[in-house]
Structure 1
Amino acid sequence: MTNGLRTARNSRGWSQERLVREIERYARQHGAVVASTASLRVYVSEWENGKRPITERYAKVLRALLGVTDGELLGRDRESSVTADGYDELVNRIDAARAVSLTMVETFADQTELLRTMDRQMGSAGLVDEMTAHLARLEDALTFAALPETRRPVALALAGAATLAAWQALDSGAAERAWRDYELGKRAAREAEEPMYLAHATAEQAYVLCDAGRPAAAVRLVREAQRLGGTSMSPRLRSWLYAAEAEICARASLPDDCRRALDNAIRLLPPGQEARDPDMLSIFLNQDHLSRWRGNALALIGDDDAVSDLYSSLDAMDPTFIRASAGVHCDLAHAHLARQEYDQARDHLQHARLLANQTGSVRQRRRISQLTSGL
């Protein structure tokens, strides 16, 4: 219990006093009843020292503020929702899973799509309860689905949801949860016999290694993702994978590999302004998005072309992609720092900080802090 709350608070750079203020702000916005300021100060200290249990009323607030699950907040592993006792209960669950229809699978997919849209516009921190419950329902449905015709569509829905949950966890600073959810997504993709989903989950998992300071291993993993996808991948996903490789190679200080991967991404990207891959709805990539990605990678390797690419991307940015906008401002700050243009770098870091605070992105805040130290 102690480490969970303190770790989540520290990952955001919040003091205990800041956490108290955020609890009070959340209560005002949502009409929740909380204790006085003086009492909250005592509660936070006692929660972190294990002297007071966190009640569900406050756990709900803390989960939304910090973007953590109950297991992370309270120091417990994720508990299975499956408690089948005896054959009667087991048979009931299997019968219920058999009744999962294509309509229900579509409902699962719609729920994932809603969570993806909310994440893009609001950030992931406030979605942790909904995402955890969504994954639990999908895992439960798959666990007790006995026949292939039921298992495959449920597994495919789980693969997409788990990969989204993993990216949200990474954005919230919950690296271990992100890794576990990517592993869940990969297992589900194998169950569904869908190499595109397996390749996507594996490539995104490489970012966990990058953020953990293992870029060389991340390069190997993103290239393994390309191998796993094989020849069945759509052109847009193949372009996306090469763009991911380019960024990770840049972070691994491999400029020539970065440029080669960028050339491949540009070559494979389908023409036109359509961004969404109809074969894989989690992939958004068109020329504007790729220009932003190219600018990011070039900024990381100190290439002067990064600035023009990034400003073009910022002008074309969909305003609902708030976290992506914060990323572009971070990239521009990085590029201006490399050119010793400190005033411009400060301006972009200020914009990035505002957007990161809006979405509650721990990952973006960490990057902003690193760039600020270079001023």
Structure 2
Amino acid sequence: MGTGLRNVRTAHGWSQERLVREIEQFARRHVIDVASTASLRVYVSEWENGRRTISDRYATILRRLLGVTDAELRDSPTALAPAMADGYDELLSRIDSAQSVSESMVKAFNDQTELLRTMDRQRGASALVDQMAGHLAALEEALTFAVLPSARRPVALELVGASTCAAWQAIDVGAVDRAWRHYELAKRAARDAEAPMHLAHATAEQAYVLMEAGRPALGADLVREAQRLLGRAGSPRLQAWLYAAEAELCAHADMPDDARRALDAAAAIIPSGPEDRDPDFPSVFLNSGHLARWRGHVLAMLGDGGAVNSLYDALALVDPTFVRAQAGLHIDLAHAHLARAEYEEAHSQVRQARLLANRTGSVRQRRRVDLLSAKL
């Protein structure tokens, strides 16, 4: 008891004193009454040592600050869903409700996923855990009690998109177990919907969990498995995305030749023009400009100083509201400057990346920044 809070606090690189300050700042921003500084210090120590239970009021604050679920915060098993009432009435009620999911309801699910995806890009994942958990629960409920394929398929497709979005958010806050489980949910939903493009995309994205866990070579193999699953059935934009993902995993696995071949394959197949969203598969955003930025990232990971110019071009074009994307570009620029032994410029890029990563609460990006700082 208490290890959950301690684990997520240390994953963020925060001391107990820093956590107390963050609680106080959160309370001021949201006009919430909290205990005095001295009392909060005692609370945090007792929460982590299991001598005090985290109240619901403070749990809400801590979940928002740390980007975790209640079970992760309290280090408790996920609560089981309440048992159904005896008899068939409750079951039939749920089946009837799922059967009546209309096109407008499916659109509402999609709109909610899109909103959460946009908020994630602009603000980071930490503040969205509760909203995303509720959204996934509603989709799973609708799919669980949908009987016929005509009712199941549209809900399953929405669940794939929401689950992969939730998984990426979990990676960003360092909750890798949650991320892996979300991808498994997405893959099950894609199989239920008989949607090979969705299955391939979810499988390839899951490789990033392996990369963050220190197994990029295994992740590259998983991306290639996703390519095999897709075959020639996918859209060119999705196929280009898979090649680019393979290149990134290979770069992290120190397989430069494979990475460059995959980059060339992506460039050869990407559709021309500024359109970035795949009409056949809306979960993928990719055009030649995005691919150039991705190429710069891969080359930076390979220690190619020639990536500097293309990365600065990408930084000038990136949407300023996409804070996490900007942080990633600054990290890549630091890598590229370091490869050219331009240490002052690399230091400057690391400082910018750290500031932006702190704004979004990205554990993943802060880890990358710390690794870079150790090389400077």
Give the structure-1-normalised TM-score: 0.98
Deviation for aligned residue 1:306? 1.3
Instruction: Tell me the SS of whatever aligns to 2:231.
Output: helix
The Cα offsets for residues 238-297 of structure 1, whole Å up to 9 and x where unpaired, read as 111111100100111111100100001111111111111122222111122111110111
Q: Is the 8 A contact 1:81 1:140 kept in 2?
A: no
Q: 1:331: which partner in 2?
A: 332
Q: Is the 8 A contact 1:246 1:258 kept in 2?
A: yes
Letter in 1 for 2:361: G
Q: Is the 8 A contact 1:288 1:317 kept in 2?
A: no
Instruction: Tell me the SS of whatever aligns to 1:76.
Output: coil
Distance (Å, rounded) in 2 between the aligned partners of 1:326 and 1:280: 27
Q: 2:49: which partner in 1?
A: 49
Q: Is the 8 A contact 2:305 2:337 kept in 1?
A: no
Q: Is the 8 A contact 2:66 2:126 kept in 1?
A: yes
Distance (Å, rounded) in 1 between the aligned partners of 2:82 and 2:171: 26
Which is further off, 145-154 or 86-95?
Answer: 86-95
Q: Is the 8 A contact 2:157 2:189 kept in 1?
A: yes
In structure 2, the gaps of 5 or more residues are none
Alignment of 1:244-323 (within 5 A): 244-323=245-324
Instruction: Tell me the SS of whatever aligns to 1:283.
Output: strand
Deviation for aligned residue 1:80? 4.4
Deviation for aligned residue 1:368? 0.1
Q: 2:18: which partner in 1?
A: 18
Alignment of 1:1-375 (within 5 A): 1-81=1-81, 83-86=83-86, 87-375=88-376
Letter in 1 for 2:339: A
Distance (Å, rounded) in 1 between the aligned partners of 2:76 and 2:90: 26
Distance (Å, rounded) in 2 between the aligned partners of 1:144 and 1:331: 46
Instruction: Tell me the SS of whatever aligns to 1:239.
Output: helix
Which is further off, 330-339 or 272-281?
Answer: 272-281
Q: Is the 8 A contact 2:305 2:336 kept in 1?
A: yes
The verdict on how the C-alpha distance between 1:76 and 1:221 changes in structure 2, with shifts beyond 3 A counting, is: same
Question: Which 4+ runs in 1 deviate beyond 4 A?
Answer: none
The Cα offsets for residues 56-82 of structure 1, whole Å up to 9 and x where unpaired, read as 111110010000001111112333445
Q: Is the 8 A contact 2:306 2:336 kept in 1?
A: no
Distance (Å, rounded) in 2 between the aligned partners of 1:52 and 1:258: 51
Instruction: Tell me the SS of whatever aligns to 1:35.
Output: coil
Distance (Å, rounded) in 1 between the aligned partners of 2:283 and 2:172: 16
Q: Is the 8 A contact 2:4 2:72 kept in 1?
A: yes
Distance (Å, rounded) in 2 between the aligned partners of 1:143 and 1:330: 42
Distance (Å, rounded) in 1 between the aligned partners of 2:84 and 2:228: 39
Distance (Å, rounded) in 1 between the aligned partners of 2:81 and 2:153: 21
Q: Is the 8 A contact 1:333 1:346 kept in 2?
A: yes
Instruction: Tell me the SS of whatever aligns to 2:274.
Output: coil
Instruction: Tell me the SS of whatever aligns to 2:106.
Output: helix
Q: Is the 8 A contact 1:165 1:181 kept in 2?
A: yes
User: RMSD of aligned C-alpha atoms?
Assistant: 1.1
Distance (Å, rounded) in 2 between the aligned partners of 1:80 and 1:134: 17
Which is further off, 1-10 or 61-70?
Answer: 1-10
Matched residues, number:
375
Deviation for aligned residue 1:98? 1.2
Deviation for aligned residue 1:83? 2.9
Distance (Å, rounded) in 1 between the aligned partners of 2:257 and 2:84: 55
Deviation for aligned residue 1:313? 1.2
Which is further off, 362-371 or 142-151?
Answer: 142-151
Deviation for aligned residue 1:308? 1.7
Question: How high is the sequence identity, in percent, across the aligned residues?
Answer: 65
Which is further off, 232-241 or 276-285?
Answer: 276-285
Letter in 2 for 1:38: A
Which is further off, 91-100 or 129-138?
Answer: 91-100
In structure 1, the gaps of 5 or more residues are none
Instruction: Tell me the SS of whatever aligns to 1:369.
Output: helix
Distance (Å, rounded) in 2 between the aligned partners of 1:226 and 1:321: 29
Give the structure-2-normalised TM-score: 0.98
Distance (Å, rounded) in 2 between the aligned partners of 1:200 and 1:33: 45
Q: Is the 8 A contact 1:288 1:316 kept in 2?
A: no
